[in-house]
Amino acid sequence: MLRYTFTDTPIGSILIAGDSESIVEIHFAGAKPKPDWIRDDDAFPEATDQLRAYFAGELQTFVLPLSPRGTEFQMSVWGALQQIPYGETTTYSTIANRIGRPAAIRAVGAANGANPIPIVIPCHRVIGSNGSMTGFGGGIDVKRKLLALEARVAGQTLF
């Protein structure tokens, strides 16, 4: 059974859910917990602190226990996402090559879209091969805001 809490951020209230040992899911504003989850506003203080520090531009690398649930392929994609440097972007094709599955670009896109722990596992750093913004669970506007925050903090120009 998972516990959950909410934390306020500049992009809206974020739902954090996990077990007693790790973060299992993060959801964007408007998300509702599953019926069998238990609200615990004292849960995940470190995740809340790190998310606040991230949005304040004070944290570039999350150090949290994570337990995303997915297939072996999804886990390989999510692992590759965690290797994308802060303030940088990459493409689905690059991720497909990185995991040794160069023909699996669409599957990489689907796995990226199924990422259960966005922001911490930075799926927002993946863009189209032509530099275009692509789908994002929090919406394209939120994706732009996250990329702009990281670019500003890293002292880079966004695109």
Q: Which residues are catalytic?
A: 123
101: left (phi > 0), else alpha (psi -120 to 50), else beta? beta
- CA-based nearest residue to 22, from 120, 153, 106: 120
Name the token pair of 47. Answer: 């995740």
Going through the chain in order, the beta strands assigned E by DSSP cover 3-9, 12-18, 23-27, 38-39, 90-91, 126-127
- CB-based contacts of 49, cutoff 8 Å, min separation 6: none
CB atoms within 10 A of CB 66: 17
